[in-house]
Structure 1
């Protein structure tokens, strides 16, 4: 899992395995072992080195979850997410499609702009 995540991040950044190894100052062969899951327990030191050029946190490499998502125990955020989900579900039940919703958002933005212009 960790190796697969590192490989996907590397490819997403457009780095070859050699380039990432050089940028992270790690052994190309060790990086290859990690990516192929031949070694499933890389050191924190290795993860720190690899995370930097990939522009992600160690937590993301380990879990696949963004730092912000790890701290979503904030009850206000959870309540907001549930509210948004209910609003969207209700809109879908009422027959509002994505294009309608986008048009409505544009209208609201226009009304806000118009209000601020006065």
Structure 2
């Protein structure tokens, strides 16, 4: 369940329930209910706030990663997410990013 994963990642991060709720800007009572599986359908916005504070990606909260999944794959996803976030925050538009990718493909083909 999502609540169990949130609790696991929170404890792995060494955070109390109150600390996570405060840092994420969410209600402590709702977070507690989620961890106890009383609430089972949190909003995407809620999960994004929690994931950002816990430094995990949404997929890790939504899906059970314990069934033989490769941690280097998850780390790569985190790195890509950070790069995309940095590009967005620096003002790079989708079109500029696409142009860069196309240029890069062209450059590789020229070699």
Range into which the TM-score falls when normalised by the shorter chain = 0.5 to 0.7
Paired residue for 1:24? Answer: 24
Paired residue for 2:5? Answer: 5
The within-5 A match list for 1:99-118 is none
The within-5 A match list for 1:77-96 is none
Paired residue for 2:50? Answer: 50
Spell out structure 1 runs of 4+ moving beyond 4 A. Answer: none
The CA deviation at 1:45 is: 0.5
Structure having the higher Rg: 1
Describe the SS at the equivalent of 1:56: coil
The CA deviation at 1:29 is: 0.2
Whole-angstrom distance in 2 between the partners of 1:68 and 1:37: 28
Which runs of 5 or more structure 1 residues have no equivalent in the other structure?
Answer: 70-118
RMSD: 1.9
Higher relative contact order (CA 8 A, sep 6+): 2
TM-score scaled by length of structure 2 = 0.58
The CA deviation at 1:62 is: 0.3
Which runs of 5 or more structure 2 residues have no equivalent in the other structure?
Answer: 66-70, 75-111
TM-score scaled by length of structure 1 = 0.55
